[in-house]
Each structure stands twice: as C-alpha cells, then as structure tokens.
Chain A
Amino acid sequence: MLVNNFLLLGAVLFCIGVYGVIARKNAVMVLMSIELILNSVNLNFIAFSTLHGNIDGNTLALFIIGVAAAEVGVGLAMVLLIFRNRKSIALDELSEMKG
C-alpha cells in the first residue's frame, strides 16, 4: 500500500471538516466537524507510525482520542449552557463580544 493513500484520505477528511466548521451555523454541527478534523489527524499519525515502524504515533493518536473526548464533553456543556440562556444555538447570534 502507498502511504499516500492514507495521507490523502486524511487530507480530504480534514478539508471536509474545515468546510463544515465554516459553513455550519448550529453549534453541535460545528463540534461534529471538529471531530472530523481530529480524526484525519489521527489517521496521519497512525500512517506515519506504521511507515517508520515507530510506536510514538500510536501513543499520540491515543492522546488525541482522550483530548477529543474531553473537548466534546466541555463543548457540549457550553452549548447546553448557551441554549439554556438564549433558547438557540445558532452561532451567528452570539455577537455580544463584537467590538
């Protein structure tokens, strides 16, 4: 197998995730797009780990999985808080901090 297969798949997933972050208005959907981005990075880590026969990529991928779980927990708690205060999770309505 070419290593580029996996790296290009990671690149495609990353770009789809970036599109989702830009295009989505619903906060939960933006969090899902961020998960896509994190997964594409993980794919790259594992591909390089296998390519070089080094275990560090696997370790880092596990760390990313852990951090992503923490990120989703806190992120959804914040989304819930915003929803409770404003009855909406549309991101373009969160404009109080606009200068």
Chain B
Amino acid sequence: MSAVILAADDIQVAQNIGFGIIAAIMVIGALKVVTSKNVVHAALSLVLVLSGAAAQYILLGAEFVAVSQILVYVGAVMVLFLFGVMLTRAKLGKETDLDQPKAWLGVPVALLMLGVLAWVLIDGFQDERLPADATSKAAVEISDSVLGPALVPFLALTFVLVAAVIGGIVLARKD
C-alpha cells in the first residue's frame, strides 16, 4: 500500500487534501498539548485538536456526532478545563514544573506503541477504501439506535451523568 497518508489516491482528491490539512493541524495541536510549557496554551491547542476531530467526522459523514463534539467538547469540556486551570491558580505564562523528571521515558513508549499500531493497521487494512458514496448518517438513524438496541447503555449513561454531577458537587463544595 502507498504508505503516504497525505497522498491523494486517484479519486476524491478534494477529500484527501482536506483530510491531510486537517490531520496535520490535529497532530501539531496534539503535540503542543503535551509539550507546551503554558497550561492555557495547551488548553487552546486542545480546542484545535477537538475541532479538527469534528471536521474529520463531517468528512466521514457523521454530522450528528460532529455537532455533538463541538457542543460538548469545545463548548462545555473546554470551559471546565479553563475553570480547572484558573481555580488551581496556574501561573499565566510559562511554567517550568509541568513535566515529570523522567519525561523522556514516555518517548520510547509512545514510539514503540505507534510502531506496533501502524504496522498492524497497514498490514491489516492495506488499500481498503471507504465507500465513495457514503451517505451521511441521519440523526433519525442514530435516535432509532439509541432508543432501540442501545437503550440500556443509554440509560446507564444517563445514570453515569447524574452520578457525575452529584459527585462533582459533593467533591468540590466547601463546607
């Protein structure tokens, strides 16, 4: 297989170029999240990655998940993160104490894992293509699935969310 991720294969040139640009932005943003010396900059780079993921979902024809991603992650989770950063009184500016003393140990672990994953994926999926006429998944299909076969996990998720709300309040209140 042509291991060049960004290379356009003969059809769907526009989608491939779009994928390449968004993927590059996401990887750069992710690297900034884990290497930045500034907590707020790391949080803002995370916004870049999450928005890029939403764009990839649209590229894959999953609009409903993309919109949920924007609403939940970029809207709510990032606000929570920024609150967390500010309530723990992070210095606004460079911080020297963000990494473990032996942070370099993470590099071989991550590279090894990436090597194994990439080898398995390239070996396993070769040139398999996404269906060119992938129709976008309508929200009605997802709701049929959520309120049909996946009803019990859905109810469990609602329970988890209630428990998280109550747990968050109990943990964080001052008394």
**B171 near A81: Cβ-Cβ < 8 Å:** yes
Total A-B pairs, Cβ < 8 A: 265
> With A43-B56, A55-B145 given, is the CB distance from A3 to B81 under 8 Å?
no
User: Which A residues are in CB contact (< 8 Å) with B125?
Assistant: 2-4, 7
Contacts of B69 in A (CB 8 A): 42, 65
- Give the CA-CA distance A10 to B73 in the complex, in Å: 17
**Contact assessment for A55 and B164 in the assembled complex, using a CB-CB cutoff below 8 Å:** no
A73 touches B62 (CB 8 A): no
For chain B, what secondary structure do more than half of its interface residues adopt (helix, strand, loop), or is it mixed?
Answer: helix
B19 touches A1 (CB 8 A): yes
The reply to whether B88 and A72 form a contact with Cβ atoms under 8 Å apart is no
How many B residues touch A, CB cutoff 8 Å? 94
Chain A facing B: main interface SS:
helix
What A residues does B141 contact at CB under 8 A? 55, 58
A72 to B137, CA, bound (A): 28
**Which 10 pairs show the lowest CB-CB distances between chains A and B?**
A70-B164, A22-B106, A20-B34, A23-B103, A19-B110, A77-B171, A11-B117, A23-B106, A15-B114, A76-B84
Spell out B's residues near A (CB within 8 Å): 1, 5, 9, 12, 15-16, 19, 23, 26-27, 30-31, 33-34, 39, 42-43, 46, 49-50, 53, 56-57, 59-62, 64-65, 68-69, 72-73, 76-77, 80-81, 83-85, 87-90, 95, 97-101, 103-107, 109-111, 113-114, 117-118, 121-122, 125-131, 134, 137, 141-142, 144-146, 149-150, 153-154, 157, 160-161, 163-165, 167-169, 171-172, 174
8 A/B residue pairs, CB under 8 Å, sorted by A: A6-B60, A20-B106, A32-B46, A33-B34, A43-B56, A50-B134, A63-B154, A81-B171
